[in-house]
């Protein structure tokens, strides 16, 4: 019997409505093209897709600003991530206990995200009252891409480690589309 292939993905790989709102249309952005390519190929290859929760949308809704990792890196956010991920850990363990039937391909996050980044996240000295910030443009310019995981991915890695589970992580990143080839082959 052919094994059922399962992949866990960040929520917005299936539902981009949870992403931070942008003025410019996202349709033709390289990340969007890569997302659609991944989904098309995953379906064609009979890969079963599990959608992880979106912590930012659940905790801050659709009106949130774009954030940096530092703004989410606090105990309550981590605790909430853990609670959201707990039910997924249960299902994952079932797949891993039945390796004759299932093959878990990995976890696909969103590189650059403060929550779901795998290889990169965004960092910056953001925060505080916008109206009284007399150096707002300088504050905004502190944002940069750093080689760290987003907060939810860090929590997920911790949870996997606590259960002695090893799984490959991948990041959706338009600058490195080749990363997905291994996943989809
Ligand atoms: S928190 Fe994760 S799932 Fe939610 S929009 Fe950001 S990258 Fe996507």
State in Å: Cα 13 to ligand 1 middle: 8
Instruction: For the chain, give every domain's residue range.
Output: 4-184
- CB of 155 within 6 A of ligand 1: the answer is no
pLDDT reported for residue 25 = 67
pLDDT reported for residue 29 = 86
Rounded-to-integer distance, Cα 133 and Cα 83, Å: 35
Q: Cα–Cα distances in Å, from 11 out to 18, 63, 133, 141, 170?
A: 8, 17, 33, 28, 14
Rounded-to-integer distance, Cα 84 and Cα 80, Å: 6
Q: Which of 54, 108, 120, 152 to mutate to test the pocket of ligand 1 (most atoms within 8 A of CB)?
A: 54
Residue 116 Ramachandran class (φ > 0 left, ψ -120 to 50 alpha, else beta): alpha
Which ranges constitute the DSSP H helices of 48-113? 55-60, 69-72, 75-97
State in Å: Cα 184 to ligand 1 middle: 22
Q: What is the mean pLDDT of each run of 10 residues along the chain (185 residues)?
A: 94 96 75 94 95 97 94 98 97 96 97 97 92 91 96 98 97 90 76
Report CA torsion sign: 13, 16, 19, 22: positive
pLDDT reported for residue 27 = 64
Q: Look-up: residue for tokens 């991915």?
A: 153
Whole-angstrom Cα Rg for the chain: 17
- CB of 151 within 6 A of ligand 1: the answer is no
Q: Please enumerate in sequence order all residues whose Cβ is within 8 A of that of 46, keeping only pairs 6 or more positions apart, or say none.
A: 4, 5
Q: Which of 15, 55, 81, 85 to mutate to test the pocket of ligand 1 (most atoms within 8 A of CB)?
A: 55
pLDDT reported for residue 4 = 96
pLDDT reported for residue 1 = 78
pTM of the model: 0.94
Half-sphere exposure of 101 (CA within 13 A, CB side): 7
Q: Give the residue among 62, 5, 52, 59 at the shortest CA–CA distance from 184.
A: 5
């Amino acid at each position: 019997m052919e094994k059922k292939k399962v992949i866990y993905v960040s929520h917005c790989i299936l539902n981009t409505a949870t992403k931070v709102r942008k003025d410019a249309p996202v349709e033709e952005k390289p990340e969007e093209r890569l997302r659609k390519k991944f989904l098309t190929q995953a379906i064609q290859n009979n890969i079963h897709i599990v959608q992880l929760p979106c912590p930012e949308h659940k905790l801050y809704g659709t009106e949130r600003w774009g954030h940096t990792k530092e703004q989410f890196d606090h105990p309550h956010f981590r605790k909430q991530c853990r609670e959201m991920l707990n039910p997924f850990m249960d299902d994952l363990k079932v797949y891993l206990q039945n390796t004759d039937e299932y093959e878990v391909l990995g976890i696909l996050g969103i590189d650059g995200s403060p929550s779901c980044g795998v290889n990169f996240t965004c960092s910056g000295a953001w925060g505080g009252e916008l109206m009284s910030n007399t150096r707002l443009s300088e504050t905004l310019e502190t944002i940069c891409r750093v080689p760290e995981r987003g907060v939810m991915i860090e929590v997920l890695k911790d949870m996997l480690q606590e259960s002695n589970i090893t799984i490959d992580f991948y990041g959706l990143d338009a600058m490195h589309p080749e990363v997905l080839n291994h996943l989809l082959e």
